[in-house]
Structure formats: C-alpha cells, structure tokens
Structure 1
C-alpha cells in the first residue's frame, strides 16, 4: 500500500504520468485520474493477435478516469458484458484496464502501467 500512496498527490489523483509498460506511449497526464480501490477481474495481458484469453487476474488498485477523452492514448475494445477493455493504442498490448459502459467511467490498473514523474519534477 505504501507504493500506492507514493503514486497519489494530496487530492488522491495520479501524481505521475502514466505510460504503457511495453512501449513509450503516454496513457495519462499527471492529475488526470483518481485512485480507487475496486475489485475487478481483468484478462491477462496479451498482444492483439494470439495468446490465451481465458486466463484472468483479480486487480483492486485502479486509476479512475471520469471522461474517456482525458486519455492521451488508449485503445478500446468492443463491448463485452457492459464492459470495454482498454489497451495501449500504439502497441495494442492489454488490457491495461476497463471502461464501464453504464457509468462511462474508465479504470486503469496501477499494476499494468508504468509511472514516471512529470518532466517538470525530474531532477
């Protein structure tokens, strides 16, 4: 949990810029999402082509994005059971999170992305 606290600013939003773990693509700017602890089971990460889709991983730490237009770069799947899975739009690896069609909120798993300090805060 200490690692999660380091990733949040004083208002509970992402303090760092969020990137894809497989390529240099930026997914979210700092301050674009709020931390939430919500249980959701995501399929294991895979490429667009190939891989086994039946393996799943329960994840509970997410960045919640109120408006899908806040993303810098995200790919969205077709709807499956009122959910759209989110992946990197450049390398198409994912899912890194999910979008709830009923609430229009999106969730990015902290464990499936890379966090870096904004360039203005780097030493």
Structure 2
C-alpha cells in the first residue's frame, strides 16, 4: 500500500461522508478532549506550525523557523465549539491553538483576520 492509499484509508476512518470528524479529537500528550465527534470539518490547507513545545517557549522562540508545513486539518468555525483549547498571545496576525490542560502546542492555527476559521492539525492530535 503506497502513501496515498494509506492516507485514504486513514481519512475514511476519521472523516464522515459529510466531511466531519467521526471520532473525538484529543491532545496527543495528556489525552484531554479538544473536539467532540461531528464538530469539525476536514480541510486541506497548507499552514506552517512551529515545533510542538510548552507554551512558555512557544511565544519566546527566537526566529520561529523550526516547525512543519501541514496540510490536513480539522476546521472549526466557532471557538466555542472546542471542548478544551487555549490560545497563545498574538504572533503577528496569528494565534496558535494549544491544549488548555497541559499547554502543549501548537496543535492548531487561527488568523486574526478571519474570525471564523480555527484549524487543528490532524497530525498533531489523537483520535478516539
């Protein structure tokens, strides 16, 4: 099975026919629930997220060049849909999403110019 086939199998286990998350979205580190099933839409958009670390070192990173460009996300259009998420201070026009319990992140991305788009990187969370 090549990478595209394994991505398709994994996606079918996570995304419903109407494009929503089938499973709960959880923090990789502490298991805290970030989103309930059916609350986010699958979206493909390339976004750069700094490397995962605790909140204190997130906002004080020197050049911010370490990280990943990720393209598979859960898109939420209302911040009150989240079960448990925190936000960093503004980094330019961006706020990064972190686990509100253990403060690891970023697990996602929010641009201050777009009040209705909160992205949670599929690769930065667990599903159960």
* Same fold (TM > 0.5): yes
Cα distance in 2 for residues equivalent to 1:85 and 1:67: 15
Number of aligned residues: 116
Aligned to 1:67, which of 78, 86, 93? 78
Match of 1:37 in 2: 44
Match of 1:92 in 2: 103
Is 1:106–2:118 an aligned residue pair? yes
Moved over 6 A (4+): none
Cα distance in 2 for residues equivalent to 1:49 and 1:69: 24
Structure 1 residues without counterparts, runs of 5 or longer: 117-123
Deviations along 1:43-78, one digit per CA (max 9) or x if unpaired, are 010112448653121100000000011000001011
Deviations along 1:5-56, one digit per CA (max 9) or x if unpaired, are 2200110000000000000210000011000000011001011244865312
Secondary structure in structure 1 of the residue aligned to 2:103: coil
Secondary structure in structure 2 of the residue aligned to 1:114: strand
Secondary structure in structure 2 of the residue aligned to 1:111: helix
Structure 2 residues without counterparts, runs of 5 or longer: 1-6
User: 1 or 2, which has the higher helix percentage?
Assistant: 2
Secondary structure in structure 1 of the residue aligned to 2:104: coil
